[in-house]
Structure 1
Amino acid sequence: MYEIHAVSDGRLMPEALAEWAVAVHPMVDYIHLREKAMSARELLAAAQQMLQAGVPPSKLVINDRIDLALAAGAGGVQLAWHSLPPAAVRGCAPDLRIGRSVHSREEAAEAGRQGADFCLYGHVFPTACKPGQQARGLEQLAEAVRWSRIPLIALGGITPGNAGTVLAQGAAGIAVMSGICGAPDPVAAARAYRAAVQRAAELAETPDMDQAQGTAGGEQTWM
């Protein structure tokens, strides 16, 4: 029911990156190749190494670079604020699964209007990846979910311990960078996140009294 997006953190060598991706992909739904320091040639080589190592193309998402996603045969692309708008990408790459990084309810709504398939919203909790930047918190996350016409994936400071609380706000899944890519044992970490997500899904499938009486309110349009 809920998705897990594992995001590379720019700290692994290409060979280790491929080993990490193939090891954790059975526990996650998508692997994001987010390596801002790599050249186009290096990114393409890293993507190809991941695919050759056994990562399914449908699981591989390339950050920002539509050209490299197409060249590598990846299944998706993750667009940042400075990237091409989703509508433009859809026109030239109709088969790519398009994600959009958003930071507000308005941006989440616009991502849906532009034709993105999902959006990554963050950061929800304080994280070392965004030092000094104010976390948006659960209340703003829930509001962004209500405004979004497409599945919203929560990002930033998410752990196995708080993943259930995040998903209870209506997020369609979680995205994790250092929690998996930077973990001493990435496979064990990915398993812990998968277990947390499964527990949240089981709780979501258990109707409370209000839902049983048909009083549950506004469901998202993507559900």
Structure 2
Amino acid sequence: MARISPEQMRSLLKVYFITGSTNCLKDPIHVLEQAIHGGITIFQYREKGEGCLDDLEKMEMGRRLHRICKENGIPFIVNDDIELALELDADGVHIGQEDEDAIQVRKQIGDKILGVSVHSLEEAETAKLAGADYLGIGPIFATATKKDARAVQGTAILEGIKDLGMPLVGIGGINADNAVDVMNTGADGVSVITAISHAADIKEAAARLKEKVIGR
């Protein structure tokens, strides 16, 4: 399998949905199915936080979510668990600055997709050299999902990083009301958790976000 091209990656990043059992008000399986019907373009399984699944339960949930993605042609990314990603034969992994070194992760996963969260131009340059396929930039806006989130960056951080020529996705506090601001500042897509997973109508929330990002 060949490495994904930057052009393909930019296309996939448009509506990037991230969730796990702790982020959903309903069954994560149902949430993902509805989000796919609404138009998400890539999915990340992030099983973290108080009360999260572990070991066999985490594996089983990942297997079920991966199956749904596969059936619908949606890339399946695993957050910060290289062993799980390899066990499930996920399409890729996403790591943060506090996780395993990106160079080592690239060696372990081969040509699978590698995403890295960055919070500065220096971190972005390091991730690019390490072989990242895309960068998650943020937090753009305030978020309550990640308890140890860095300081809010605003959209200005995208201005300094987009010149690297890397596929970029905005992270943190993004929803249908501010997604256009993120896209207009140079991102290739937006990543969301609760904007979809906590919505009363998940399919409609995903569709509205997609309209803001792609139909603007």
Structure 1: 5+ residue stretches without partners: 201-223
1:38 aligns with 2:50: no
Identity %: 27
- Residues 192 and 49 (structure 1 numbering): CA distance in 2 closer, same or farther, change over 3 Å? same
2:76 alignment partner in structure 1: 60
Query: Structure 1, residues 44-98: CA drift from partner, whole Å, max 9, x if none?
Result: 111111133x222751111101110111121111112222222212212213211
**Larger RCO (CA within 8 A; separation ≥ 6):** 2
Which residue does the alignment assign to 1:47? 62
TM-score, normalising length: structure 2: 0.83
**Residue pair 2:138, 2:172 contacting (<8 A) in 1 also:** yes
Whole-Å Cα distance in 1 between the matches of residues 139 and 98 of structure 2? Answer: 17
| Letter in structure 2 aligned against 1:143 | G
1:112·1:149 contact (CA, 8 Å) conserved in 2? no
| Contact 1:105/1:145 (8 A) holds in 2 | no
**Cα distance between partner residues in 2 of 1:170 and 1:118:** 13
Per-residue deviation at 1:18? Answer: 1.6
Q: Does 1:145 align with 2:162?
A: yes
Partner SS, residue 136 of structure 2: strand
Residue 15 of structure 2 aligns with an amino acid whose one-letter code is I
The residue number in structure 2 matching 1:160 is: 176
Question: Secondary structure of 1:137's match?
Answer: coil
Does structure 2 retain, via aligned residues, the 8 Å contact 1:159–1:193? yes
Consecutive unaligned residues in structure 2, runs of 5 or more = 1-10
Q: What TM-score, normalized to structure 1? A: 0.80
Tell me the amino acid that sits aligned with residue 125 of structure 2.
A
- Count of matched residue positions in the alignment of Structure 1 and Structure 2: 197
1:34 shift after superposition: 0.7
2:35 paired with 1:20: no
How far does residue 149 in structure 1 lie from its aligned partner after superposition? 4.1
Residue 31 of structure 1 contacts residue 59 of structure 1 at CA under 8 Å; is this kept in 2? yes
Residues 41 and 74, structure 2, Cα contact 8 Å, conserved in 1? no
Displacement of 1:117 in angstroms is: 0.5
Tell me which residue corresponds to 1:190: 206
Partner of residue 99, structure 1:
115
How far does residue 114 in structure 1 lie from its aligned partner after superposition?
0.6
Deviation at 1:38, TM superposition (A): 2.3
Runs of 4+ in 1 over 4 A off after TM superposition: 130-133
Greater Rg by CA? 1
Deviates more, 1:32-41 or 1:116-125: 32-41
In structure 2, what is the Cα distance between the partners aligned to 1:98 and 1:75? 9
2:135 alignment partner in structure 1 = 119
